[in-house]
């Protein structure tokens, strides 16, 4: 048992005190884990656009909050009843839990565990938080909260992984890579020889490209407004890249002409209503499948021509790539260790944790794919 087990840990965390504010590195108190919870020492954590959705208000959260949901770390201590992880285990916190009991978990095809915190409750199952700062409770984010030296998660929100896995790389399996790769491999089930189109070439979009390539797609078209993203997209597998700004015609017509009307799969990996419709319209009217991967802005509605679906298209979405998180993350780590895919291409910046605001600046300027913060 570690010397800190059962005690409050004081450590550094990046606290967001309110909407659209920079992170403030504070000393916080992290309470010991309660029943069915584990306290984790975070070793490395990536910056994902979803964290920014909390800052910008596109996603509802309670303040003050500790965001961050893509990380790897080591279990420091466990609460009563925990049997599947123990102190010293290398783990990945899971923003999508797998309770094993809810309607999604018991169905082989479901992965959206009902314990996911999509509404921004910001508390653990008992309705309280494990963080305090300056005497105030600080809320959790997506069952994870990784922008801190220590966090507390529930047992069903943590996956034990290979102890030899490098945390500064496999942290990306906690969100970005798994989400994108799974969208292609598991949700769309891209078939060999097909043509795929990926809207949005950030860390998640590039991971979709890697998935399409692994699945044997013969043509992969990357779309972004920022042409600086094209080079990297090509190096991970895009066969060509275009910007909608270079065309007068609607993008679905451009793609249809480019491919002789043969787009099998499209992926929206931006998180905008317009691109969701563009992606739907861009897949083949009869056999095409379009997958919504980008997080939809809170409380916004879509209007679209139902003829798009009537003709035969399939419209899907997926959270965390469709993976069952506790079952599949350890397997993805095994695949990474067996060199079935490479994460280095996605990691453009590595920064010390206290430079977190710089990491977000890189995201805003469109200069980074993934910045990884080291604790």
Q: Which is nearer to ligand CND, 114 or 126 (CB)?
A: 114
296 binds, among Zn ion, ligand CND, none (CB under 5 to 8 A by kind): none
Which of 32, 203, 264, 288 binds ligand CND (CB under 6 A)? It is: 203
Which of 28/159 has CB closer to ligand CND?
159
Taking CB under 6 A as the rule, does residue 277 contact ligand CND?
Answer: no
CA distances from 361 to 23, 369, 370 (A): 12, 12, 12
For residue 129, state whether it binds Zn ion (rule: CB under 5 A). no
CA distance 63 to 20: 11
| Cβ closest to ligand CND, residue 33 vs residue 294 | 294
Residue 333 CB neighbour total at 10 angstroms = 23
CB atoms within 10 A of CB 114: 12
Site for ligand CND in 291-310 (CB under 6 A): 293-295
With CA atoms as reference, report the closest residue to 86 among 38, 132, 129, 34.
38
The answer to whether the beta carbons of residues 15 and 42 sit under 8 Å apart is no
Binding of residue 68 to ligand CND (CB under 6 A): no
232-271 residues in contact with ligand CND (CB under 6 A) are 269-271
User: Are the C-beta atoms of 273 and 299 separated by less than 8 Å?
Assistant: no
Q: Could you give the dihedral angle defined by the CA atoms of residues 348, 352, 355 and 358, in that order, rounded to the nearest 10 degrees?
A: -10
Pattern 34-53, binding to Zn ion, x per CB under 5 A?
A: --------------x-x---
Piece in contact with Zn ion (CB under 5 A), picked from 102-110, 192-200, 299-307, 355-363: 102-110
Within positions 138 to 167, which residues make up the interface with ligand CND, using CB under 6 A?
none
**Residue 360 binds which one of ligand CND, Zn ion, none, with CB within 5 to 8 A depending on kind?**
none
Please give the sequence-ordered ranges of beta strands (E in DSSP) within the chain, or none if there are none.
Answer: 9-15, 24-30, 37-46, 71-78, 90-93, 131-133, 136-138, 150-154, 158-160, 195-199, 219-223, 240-242, 263-268, 289-292, 314-317, 347-352, 370-374
289-292 and 263-268 strand pairing:
parallel
Pairwise CA distance, residues 222 & 282, whole Å: 13
65 contact choice in Zn ion, ligand CND, none (CB below 5 to 8 Å, kind-dependent): none
Q: Is 113 in the site for Zn ion (CB under 5 A)?
A: yes
Residue with tokens 């397997």: 331
- 58 makes contact with Zn ion (CB under 5 A): no
Measure the CA–CA gap between 49 and 2, rounded to whole angstroms.
Answer: 35
In angstroms, what is the minimal distance from the CB of 27 to ligand CND? 29
Rounded to a whole number of angstroms, the minimum distance from the CB of residue 108 to Zn ion is 13
Which residue in the shown chain puts its C-beta closest to ligand CND? Answer: 202
Interface with Zn ion by CB under 5 A: which range of 2-10, 170-178, 223-231, 270-278? 170-178
- 270 touches which of ligand CND, Zn ion, none (CB within 5 to 8 A by kind)? ligand CND
Exactly one of 113, 212, 319, 343 binds ligand CND (CB under 6 A); that residue is: 319
**SS3 state of residue 76:** strand
Q: How far apart are CA 228 and CA 242, in angstroms?
A: 11
Question: Out of ligand CND, Zn ion, none, which partner does residue 186 contact, by CB within 5 to 8 A per kind?
Answer: none
Query: What minimum distance in Å lies between the beta carbon of 180 and ligand CND?
Result: 7
Alpha-carbon gap, residue 277 to 294, rounded angstroms? 12
Footprint on residues 174-203 left by Zn ion (CB under 5 A): 175
Dihedral of CA atoms 26, 32, 37, 38 in degrees, nearest 10, equals 70
Closest CA to 74 of 44, 45, 40: 40
- Compare residues 41 and 169 and give the one whose CB is closer to ligand CND: 169
Residue 142 engages Zn ion in binding (rule: CB under 5 A):
no
**Residue ranges in contact with Zn ion by CB under 5 A:** 48, 50, 99, 102, 105, 113, 175
**Residue ranges in contact with ligand CND by CB under 6 A:** 48-50, 53, 175-176, 179, 199-205, 223-226, 229, 269-272, 275, 293-295, 318-320, 366
């Amino acid at each position: 048992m570690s010397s800190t087990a059962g005690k409050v840990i004081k450590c550094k965390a990046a606290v967001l005190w309110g909407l659209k504010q920079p992170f403030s590195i504070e000393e916080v108190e992290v309470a010991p884990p309660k029943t069915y919870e584990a306290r984790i020492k975070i070793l490395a954590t990536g910056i994902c656009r979803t964290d920014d959705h909390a800052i910008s208000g596109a996603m509802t959260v309670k303040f003050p909050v500790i965001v961050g949901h893509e990380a790897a770390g080591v279990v420091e201590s466990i609460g009563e009843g925990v049997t599947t992880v123990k102190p010293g285990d290398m783990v990945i916190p899971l923003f999508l839990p797998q309770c094993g009991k809810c309607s999604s978990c018991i169905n082989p095809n479901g992965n959206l565990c009902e314990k996911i915190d999509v509404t921004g409750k910001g508390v653990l199952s008992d309705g309280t938080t494990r963080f305090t700062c300056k005497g105030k409770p600080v809320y959790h984010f997506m069952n994870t909260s990784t922008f801190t030296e220590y966090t507390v998660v529930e047992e069903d929100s943590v996956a034990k992984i290979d102890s030899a896995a490098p945390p500064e790389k496999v942290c990306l399996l906690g969100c970005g890579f798994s989400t994108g790769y799974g969208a292609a491999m598991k949700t769309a089930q891209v078939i060999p020889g097909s043509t795929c189109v990926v809207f949005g070439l950030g860390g998640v979009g590039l991971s979709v490209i890697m998935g399409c390539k692994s699945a044997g797609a013969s043509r992969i078209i990357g779309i972004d407004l920022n042409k600086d993203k094209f080079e990297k997209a090509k190096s991970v597998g895009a066969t060509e890249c275009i910007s909608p700004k270079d065309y007068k015609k609607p993008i679905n017509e451009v793609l249809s002409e480019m491919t002789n009307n043969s787009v099998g799969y499209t992926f929206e990996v931006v998180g905008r209503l317009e691109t969701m419709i563009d992606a739907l319209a861009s897949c083949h009217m009869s056999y095409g499948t379009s997958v919504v991967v980008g997080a939809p802005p809170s409380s916004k509605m879509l209007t679209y021509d139902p003829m798009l679906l009537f003709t035969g298209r399939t419209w899907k979405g997926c959270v965390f790539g469709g993976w069952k998180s506790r079952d599949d993350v350890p397997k993805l780590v095994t695949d990474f260790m067996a060199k079935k895919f490479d994460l280095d291409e996605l990691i453009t910046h590595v920064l010390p944790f206290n430079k977190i605001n710089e990491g977000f600046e890189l995201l805003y300027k469109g200069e980074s794919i993934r910045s990884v913060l080291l604790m």
